[in-house]
């Protein structure tokens, strides 16, 4: 039953699976939001547990051991379908899904619109803290969806690889700088991550036709390899999942993103 759940799941569909034994719901909202209200049965996860920091580089991929510990503590097994959400438009939730995919677990969904959509549609909410049944999780690392700094350097002039910068225009242009150097990766196309959100509709993903139009107007087509990045691969993880939901098959995320590229002395910058 759970295998039929789509990548982007609506509140009405999740409602039907609330009591399914094969569905695990993970909440990556702020602690204050979770304690106040959440989807019944949702397990809380702190975002910091799924990213690694090596100052000044942020948002790096955790070690296999850390991933085993985190996913095992949530009770994730291969026969479970994981549904994740947050309270900030889906950035943290999407980073979780990208990481889960790398660790070898592919049965997952994001709740469209997060906790806002859930509560605004008058679904049952809970303040009862849910505790998972831990299990042993064994990562089967698949680095196919990871873009390293070296991969990007090797493909800067490759016409079949598109670098997609999902930061604000001010960060892209170098007016706002959150690293030793400002600017963007040479040739990168800028689409701010929030452009994929319907801001009048709980920050749900915009309709498919609007998203395709936005992407294709910038030359971002499914026949290319798309590398998404932001400052740490938090915002760009949202773009990664958006592309995946549209059927784009060759997508990579750049962990560390600009905190890696912009703090390196010899990387080219525009």
Distance CA 243, CA 210 (A): 13
Annotated active-site residue 94? The verdict is: no
Q: Are 134 and 73 in contact (CB under 8 A)?
A: yes
In the structure encoding, which two tokens stand for residue 37, read together? 């209200």
Helices (H), 128-228: 149-154, 169-173, 208-217
Distance of CA 211 to the CA centre of its chain: 17
Q: 178: buried, middle or exposed (CB in 10 Å: 19+, 13-18, 0-12)?
A: middle
Which residue, 81, 75, 118, is CA-closest to 4? Answer: 81
Rounded Cα distance between 153 and 128, Å, is 48
Catalytic residue among 94, 135, 204, 230: 230
3-state class percentages of the chain: helix first, strand second, coil last, to nearest 5: 35, 15, 50
Contact indicator for 85, 110 with CB cutoff of 8 Å: yes
Q: Which residues contact 91 (CB under 8 A, 6 or more apart)?
A: 193, 234, 235, 237, 238
Q: Which residues are catalytic?
A: 230
């Amino acid at each position: 039953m759970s295998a039929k759940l789509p990548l982007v799941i609506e509140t009405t569909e999740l409602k039907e699976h609330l009591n399914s034994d094969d569905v695990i719901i993970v909440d990556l909202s702020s602690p204050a939001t979770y304690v106040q209200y959440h989807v019944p049965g949702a397990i809380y996860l702190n975002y910091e547990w799924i990213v690694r920091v090596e100052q000044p580089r942020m948002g790096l991929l955790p070690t296999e051991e850390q991933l085993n510990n985190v996913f095992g503590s949530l009770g994730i097994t291969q026969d479970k379908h994981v549904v994740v959400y947050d309270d900030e438009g889906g950035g943290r939730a999407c980073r979780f899904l990208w990481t889960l995919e790398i660790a070898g677990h592919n049965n997952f969904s994001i709740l469209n619109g997060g906790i806002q959509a859930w509560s605004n549609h008058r679904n049952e909410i809970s303040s009862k803290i849910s505790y998972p049944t831990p299990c042993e999780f064994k990562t089967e690392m698949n680095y196919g969806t990871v873009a390293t700094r070296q991969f990007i350097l090797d493909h800067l002039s490759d016409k079949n690889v598109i670098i997609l910068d999902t930061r604000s225009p001010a960060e892209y242009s170098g007016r706002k700088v959150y690293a030793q150097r400002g600017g963007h990766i040479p040739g990168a196309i800028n689409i701010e991550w929030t452009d994929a959100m319907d801001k009048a509709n709980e920050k749900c993903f915009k309709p498919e036709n609007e998203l395709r139009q936005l992407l294709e107007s910038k030359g971002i087509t499914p026949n290319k390899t798309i590398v998404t990045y932001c400052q740490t691969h938090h915002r760009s993880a949202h773009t990664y999942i958006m592309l995946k939901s549209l059927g784009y098959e060759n997508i990579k995320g750049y962990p560390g993103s600009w905190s890696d590229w912009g703090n390196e002395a010899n990387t080219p910058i525009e």
